[in-house]
Structure 1
Amino acid sequence: MDSSEPRRKRKRLLRQSTATAISPLLTVRSFLLCLCFLLFVYLLSFKIPIAPSSFRPVLVVSSFSLLSSSSSNGVESLPGVDRFLLPRIEGRVLFPDHILLLVRKNGLPVHEKLECVYPSRESQISAHVLSSDDYDQSRVIFRCPLPPGNSSAAAAAAASLRKVGGKPVVKGRRNQTAVVASWDSVVYAAALDGDSAVVFVKGLNLRRDRESSPRWFSCHFWLGKKMKEEDRRRVEVLQTRAVTAAQEVVRCQLPASIKDSPEEALGGRVTVGTMMTAPRGSRRVEEGRRFLFPSVAEVSRVESGGGGKQHGLCACTMVWNQAPALREWITYHAWLGVERWFIYDNNSDDAIEDVIYDPEMRNFNVTRHVWPWIKTQEAGFSHCALRAKSECDWVAFMDVDEFFYLPYSSPHYQFRKPGYASENALRDLVRNVSLSSPGTLGEIRTACHSYGPSGLDRPPAQGVMVGYTCRVKSPERHKSIVRPDAVDPTLLNVVHHFRLKKGFRFMDTPQGTAVINHYKYQVWEVFRAKFFRRVATYVADWTENQNEGSRDRAPGLGTEAIEPPNWRLQFCEVWDTGLRDFVLANFADSSTGFLPWETSPQYEQ
C-alpha cells in the first residue's frame, strides 16, 4: 500500500504535465486550421461568389454568365463601403474601331486624364482614352482604341483604366479570360414602358420594314439587385415571353412577380433569348433549344413621369459631329414653335456639349442623350419615341440639315392663315391638322426638297438656309411629325416614318402648306464627313459597294471620299430662294444684318 501510493501520485503528475504541454499545441493547431479554412473560403469566393453578382460574357455553364458583371455584390452593398472601393468595369463591347467600357460610377472622375491599359506577356500596353461620357444615372462610358495589331483578343477583353502613368482607377473582372461582347451580337439597352420592357438587341438580323414573330424570342431578367438581404445567396432569374419583335427591338412582358410594381425592374439586368440561329458569343440554355445574347443592358426609365404632357411640339434627332449646325437648326425651329429637343449624340467628338449648354442657348429646352451604339438610328428613334411620350403631344423626327419651310399661303390653302408664316406657325399647323381628324391622326408627313452645293466651295457664312439656294426639282422622300402615343408597340420605323397602332392613320401635308428643305449635298468639305459612317442601320455606308443606284446614295458618287468634278455645280436644277428670303426678313439684325447663329464656328469667315 505504501509503495503504490507514490506510484499513483507520479502518474497523476505525469498526466497533468502532459496535458499542460499539449494544451498550447491544440490552441496553435486550432488557430492554423481556422486560418486555412478562412483562406480557402476567400480563394473560393473568386471562383464561386457567395453573393452571386458577376454575370459576364464568358463561356461557362451558367446561362446568365452572358450578362456583364454587376456592382451589387455583398461588399459593395454595405453602407459606407462604396467610397473605399474602385469603380467596377461592368461591360466591354468590341466595335470595329474601338472598345467601349461601361463602368459603375462610384465617384469616378469622368473627365480626369486616364489611359487604357491592356495586359500582354511582356508588360502592360497603354493608350490614351479616346473619350468618356456620363451614360446613365449609375454608369459612365470610356472609349479605348483597339490594342496594337499583334495583341491577342484576350488583351481587348481585359482592357482596363488607370491614371496616366499611375495606378488603376477601376476594378476589372476577376476572370480575365472573359471574352468581350462583340458589337454584332449584344443586348445594348433596355427601357421600362408601362408593364413591359423594351429591349434593344444587335444581331437579331430581322427584316427592315416588317414585324417578326415574337414566338422565337424571350426576355430573361436578373432581379438579384432587388432581393432582400437575407436572400442574397440566391440569384433570381425570371423568363418572360416576347410580345413583339421588329428590327432591333424586342418587347417583353415583365415578370409576374413585379407586374404590380414595375419599378422593381429598374437597374436590373436583362438579356434576350432566341430559338433562331445562335448569335455570336451566345450560350445555349433549356437543353439546347434557346440561345441567350451577351448583354450590357440595364432596365432604365426614359420617361420623365408626372405632370402630364407639357409640350405641344418636340423634335428628336441623332447626330455625329454636328455641333456647328445645331445653333441654326434649334434657333429657327424654336421660332416656328418647337418647344423641346432630344439630341441623341452618337459618339461626337466636336464639343457638342459646349453648344447645347452655351449660355446663349439657355432659353431652349434641349437635352443631350449619350447614345454610343453605332448604326442604330432606327433603334434610337424608337428609344426617343418612348422618352418623349410622357412630355410631348407631337414629335418631329428629322436631321439637323433639314428645315421646315412654310411658304406664302394663299387663302385656299388648308390648315394655315393666309400670308407669310409667323412665330409658332409650325406648331399651329400641327394643331390644325390634328383637329381635322380628332382621335385618328397619328402622323403628319412632309415632302423634302434636296439642295446641292449651289456653286459654293466653302460653308456659307450665314448658315445653310441662306447659303444653299439651288435644289433638285422633284421632292425626295419625306420626314414625319409623329404622335408618340399612336406609335405601334413594335416601335418599327424606317427613319422617315413610324408604324402606327391600329385605328390611326397618317396624312401628307400639301406642298403649298409646308415642305422640308433638306440641305443634303453641301460643300465637299462638309459632305465628305459622311464617308466616315452613316447612322441608319439598314443603309449601306458610303464606302460599301451596295445599293449604288438607290436614293440612299449620291448619284455619280463612288465608294471613296474623292471629290467628283464640278461637285459645287451638281444637284442644281431649280434656284429656290424662298426660305433664304424669309430668314433674312425675319431673323437678321436690323442694324448689323447678322443672323443669330453666325457666331457658330462653322460659319466664321
Structure 2
Amino acid sequence: MARKVPTTFVPLLALILYLACFYHHLFSQPPPVSSVNLLSPPLTATTNANSPTTIIPQEQEQEKQSHDSVLSTVSVLLPAWEILVILMPENPMPPDYDTGSYICLFPNNDTSPAKPSGILQFPSRATFKCDLPERLRRRMPFPQPVLTTSPENLPERNTSAPELLRWNFLVYESLSTETDVVLFVKGLNKRQGVNRTPKELRCVFGDVVNGVRTAVTSSIQEVFRCRLPEGNALSSSDNKPVKISLEIQGQNLVVPSVAYYTPPRKVAPERPKSQLCACTMVYNAAKYLKEWVVYHSEIGIEKFILYDNGSDDDLERVVAEIVDQGYNVSTSFWLWPKMQEAGFSHCAAKAKDSCTWMVYVDVDEFIYSPSWLDSSKPSDQMLQSLLPKKSQIGGVGEVMINCYEFGPSNQKSNPVNGVMQGYNCRRKAENRHKSIVLLDAIDESLLNVIHHFQLKKGYKVKKAELQHAVVNHYKFQAWSEFQIKFRRRVSAYVVDWMEEINPESKDRTPGLGYAAVEPQGWPEKFCEVYDNRLKDLTRRWFGTKSESGYLMAWQI
C-alpha cells in the first residue's frame, strides 16, 4: 500500500520545485554577445522541451524555406545581436531588394525589419541585416530567421529552424589564385602570434562528408592558404557553386562556412600593371572621398581600391560621380566587423596581378613631402619619387612613412573646404606609420599589422625620414565627425573602444574613456603645433579664389 504524503509537505515541495526552475532559468541565460557568447564555437543541434524552437542541422535549411514567398538563406549572428542574412547562390537578385519590404520572421512569430546590406561576390549573393528579437536572446541556441515579404501568407510551418551561425567561428571569404585558394576564417587563430599549425587543418571543398580535401600550407591570423584540388575533382554536371571550409583534423570538426570556391579564371590581360595603387577600408566616408582621391591621384596614384565596411551614406553614388570624372576607383563589399587586416590581405592577393606597389592609407590620411612645398603644381611622379629605383630581391619591399596626428583645430563641424584646409593643429610627436608595399615582396602568409606587411626573405623595409615624407592623419576631427568612428568601433584587430580593456592602447583616444560623450574642451585638444604646410600647399595647387574665400577642386 502506497504511503500517503503529508499535506504539510506538498507546499514545501512545490516551493522547492519553483526555486529549482527559477535558478535553472536564471543561470542558463546566455552571456552578452559582445563577450563570452561570441568566443565559443556554435552549439551542436539540440532540442529544448521548454522552447518553441527546435534547432536542426545547417544542411537542412533549404528544405525549410521552399515556399514561393520565402527566400533560401543562411544567417550569421554578428556582435550587438545583429543578424546578417545571406541569400543562397541559387536565388536570383530580388527585384524589390531596395524597397524595404522584407522582414525576418522567427519561429516564435516575432519579426524584425530586414534592411538591404550589400552584395557579396563570387558567387553573387544579396544580403540583409535584421536584429534578433529580445525574447529570443534569452535562451540558446538561437534560431535562424525566415526572410519573407508576406508572413501572413505562409503555409503552416514546422517549428524547426536551423541554428544561427556565429561570427566568432566562421569561414567568411574565399579568394582563388592561379596556384592556391586563400580562406578567411574567424575563430581558429584567436590571438595575435598564436596560430594553429597547417598540419592540424585541411581544406574541404564541397560536401562535409564526401567533399574533396586538400592540404593547408599557411595559417596566420585569419588567413589560411589551401592547395587546389587536383584535375577535375570538383567538376559536376549541375555547375552549382562549391562551398569551401576548413577541417580541424584532431577534433573531426568542420568550421561553418558562407564562402564558396571560385575557380581561377584565365582572362586576357587588360593593360600593363599600374605602378602605384591605393587600398583602404571605408565606412561612411563618402564626404571625404573625393578630396582624398583627387589629391592622391594628382601626385601619382593610378588606381583606388575601396573595401566598403557596410557604409550607408550614399558611397555608391559618390564613387560613381568620381568615376565619371575620369578617376579609377572601384569598391569591394567587405562587411565583416573588425576585419581590416584580413581586408588588406585580401586586397594584396587580389590586386597582385594589376598593381606593382600598393599604398595603404585611410581616407583621413594624406601623404606629402616637405620637398614639394615650393612646387607650383602637383606631378604624377611625386609619390613615385619616394620609391626605390629598383624593385628586386635584395632591395626595398616596403617604404614606411611616419604620421602626424591632427586635432579638432577648433572646428565644430566638418570643414566645408575639406580636412586639409580645416585642420591645422597637431600633436608634436609623430605616431604610428603607414606604408607603400611592393606586392610581389609580401610574404605568402599575407601577414600584416594594419598598413604594413611581413615581407619575403631577401626584401627589406625602408623608413622614410620626416624631411622626405610624412602622412598628415586627420584623426581627431570635430566631435560630430569623430563620434561616428567611436560608435562604429575600430575595424582593426584590437579591443572595442567601449570595453574597459587595454586602456593604454594607441588605438584609444587619450582622455576619452569608454563612452561616446564629448570630453570637455574637445575642440582645443591635441593642439601642440600649428602646421599649415599641407594646407598652404593644397590651396595653391587646388584652390580657386571666390567671393567667400577659396573653392577647392574637390568641391566642384
1:151 deviates by 3.0
1:58 deviates by 6.8
Match of 1:451 in 2: 406
1:241 deviates by 1.8
Task: Report SS of the residue matched to 1:341.
Answer: strand
Partner amino acid for 2:246? V
Structure 1, unpaired ranges of 5+: 1-55, 77-83, 225-234, 276-287, 411-417, 600-605
- Whether 2:148 is the aligned partner of 1:162: answer yes
Q: Distance in 2 between matches of 1:114 and 1:186?
A: 29
1:385 deviates by 0.7
1:209 deviates by 4.5
- Whether 2:170 is the aligned partner of 1:222: answer no
- Whether 2:422 is the aligned partner of 1:422: answer no
CA contact 2:189–2:195 (8 Å) conserved in 1: no
1:408 deviates by 2.6
- Whether 2:449 is the aligned partner of 1:494: answer yes
Match of 2:537 in 1: 582
The structure-2 alpha-carbon separation of the partners of 1:434 and 1:143, relative to structure 1 and needing over 3 Å to count, comes to: farther
The structure-2 alpha-carbon separation of the partners of 1:190 and 1:435, relative to structure 1 and needing over 3 Å to count, comes to: same
Given candidates 334, 339, 344, the residue that maps to 1:381 is 344
Match of 2:176 in 1: 192
Q: Distance in 2 between matches of 1:58 and 1:537?
A: 30
The structure-2 alpha-carbon separation of the partners of 1:134 and 1:240, relative to structure 1 and needing over 3 Å to count, comes to: same
Partner amino acid for 1:270? I
1:113 deviates by 3.0
The structure-2 alpha-carbon separation of the partners of 1:436 and 1:155, relative to structure 1 and needing over 3 Å to count, comes to: closer
- Whether 2:125 is the aligned partner of 1:140: answer yes
Partner amino acid for 2:114? V
Q: Distance in 2 between matches of 1:254 and 1:309?
A: 27
Match of 1:342 in 2: 305
**Superposed, which structure 2 residues align to 1:58-77 within 5 Å?**
59=45
- Whether 2:247 is the aligned partner of 1:289: answer no
Match of 2:314 in 1: 351
Given candidates 95, 114, 117, the residue that maps to 2:104 is 117
The structure-2 alpha-carbon separation of the partners of 1:151 and 1:419, relative to structure 1 and needing over 3 Å to count, comes to: closer
1:441 deviates by 2.2
CA contact 1:408–1:421 (8 Å) conserved in 2: no
**Superposed, which structure 2 residues align to 1:174-573 within 5 Å?**
176-209=160-193, 212-222=196-206, 236-258=210-232, 267-275=241-249, 289-300=251-262, 306-307=268-269, 309-358=272-321, 361-408=324-371, 422-430=378-386, 432-435=387-390, 440-573=395-528
Match of 1:39 in 2: none
Q: Distance in 2 between matches of 1:107 and 1:154?
A: 32
Match of 1:597 in 2: 554
1:364 deviates by 1.1
1:361 deviates by 4.6
The structure-2 alpha-carbon separation of the partners of 1:85 and 1:589, relative to structure 1 and needing over 3 Å to count, comes to: same
Q: Distance in 2 between matches of 1:503 and 1:69?
A: 50
Match of 1:18 in 2: none
1:328 deviates by 1.0
1:236 deviates by 4.3
Give the TM-score normalised by the residue count of structure 2. Answer: 0.80
Query: Over residues 273-313 of structure 1, what are the superposed CA-to-partner deviations in whole Å (9 max), with x where a residue is unaligned?
Result: 225xxxxxxxxxxxx63321111111236989541643111
Task: Report SS of the residue matched to 2:277.
Answer: strand
1:159 deviates by 1.2
Match of 1:41 in 2: none
Q: Distance in 2 between matches of 1:585 and 1:504?
A: 38
1:161 deviates by 2.2
Task: Report SS of the residue matched to 2:384.
Answer: helix
Task: Report SS of the residue matched to 1:332.
Answer: helix
CA contact 1:242–1:253 (8 Å) conserved in 2: yes
Q: Distance in 2 between matches of 1:488 and 1:266?
A: 33
Task: Report SS of the residue matched to 1:589.
Answer: strand
Task: Report SS of the residue matched to 2:102.
Answer: strand
Task: Report SS of the residue matched to 1:433.
Answer: coil
Give the TM-score normalised by the residue count of structure 1. Answer: 0.74
CA contact 1:316–1:342 (8 Å) conserved in 2: yes
Task: Report SS of the residue matched to 2:262.
Answer: strand
The structure-2 alpha-carbon separation of the partners of 1:240 and 1:258, relative to structure 1 and needing over 3 Å to count, comes to: same
Partner amino acid for 1:247? Q
CA contact 1:314–1:396 (8 Å) conserved in 2: yes
The structure-2 alpha-carbon separation of the partners of 1:513 and 1:394, relative to structure 1 and needing over 3 Å to count, comes to: same
Task: Report SS of the residue matched to 1:480.
Answer: strand
CA contact 2:376–2:540 (8 Å) conserved in 1: no
Query: Over residues 410-455 of structure 1, what are the superposed CA-to-partner deviations in whole Å (9 max), with x where a residue is unaligned?
Result: 9xxxxxxx9567321344324x524276763221111111001112
Query: Over residues 366-410 of structure 1, what are the superposed CA-to-partner deviations in whole Å (9 max), with x where a residue is unaligned?
Result: 111111211111111111111111110111111111111222359
Q: Distance in 1 between matches of 2:60 and 2:521?
A: 52
1:130 deviates by 2.5
The structure-2 alpha-carbon separation of the partners of 1:289 and 1:554, relative to structure 1 and needing over 3 Å to count, comes to: closer
CA contact 2:118–2:310 (8 Å) conserved in 1: no
CA contact 1:116–1:129 (8 Å) conserved in 2: yes
1:485 deviates by 1.9
Task: Report SS of the residue matched to 1:255.
Answer: coil
CA contact 1:394–1:484 (8 Å) conserved in 2: yes
Q: Distance in 2 between matches of 1:378 and 1:167?
A: 45
Task: Report SS of the residue matched to 1:379.
Answer: helix
CA contact 1:209–1:494 (8 Å) conserved in 2: no
The structure-2 alpha-carbon separation of the partners of 1:115 and 1:494, relative to structure 1 and needing over 3 Å to count, comes to: same
Q: Distance in 1 between matches of 2:147 and 2:140?
A: 16
Q: Distance in 2 between matches of 1:393 and 1:107?
A: 35
Partner amino acid for 2:101? L
CA contact 1:452–1:520 (8 Å) conserved in 2: yes
| Aligned length in residues | 494
C-alpha RMSD over aligned residues: 3.4
Greater alpha carbon shift after TM alignment, 199-208 vs 312-321 = 199-208
Structure 2, unpaired ranges of 5+: 1-41, 47-56
Task: Report SS of the residue matched to 2:536.
Answer: helix
Match of 2:27 in 1: none
Task: Report SS of the residue matched to 1:368.
Answer: strand
The structure-2 alpha-carbon separation of the partners of 1:303 and 1:216, relative to structure 1 and needing over 3 Å to count, comes to: same
Please identify the structure whose Cα radius of gyration is greater. Answer: 1
Q: Distance in 2 between matches of 1:341 and 1:187?
A: 27
CA contact 1:462–1:598 (8 Å) conserved in 2: yes
Partner amino acid for 1:334? S
Partner amino acid for 2:110? I
Match of 1:81 in 2: none
The structure-2 alpha-carbon separation of the partners of 1:396 and 1:265, relative to structure 1 and needing over 3 Å to count, comes to: farther
Match of 2:7 in 1: none
Q: Distance in 2 between matches of 1:302 and 1:189?
A: 15
Match of 2:15 in 1: none
> Equivalent pairs: percent with the same residue?
34
Match of 1:283 in 2: none
Q: Distance in 2 between matches of 1:576 and 1:518?
A: 12
Task: Report SS of the residue matched to 2:188.
Answer: coil
CA contact 2:190–2:221 (8 Å) conserved in 1: yes
Partner amino acid for 2:508? R
1:541 deviates by 1.8
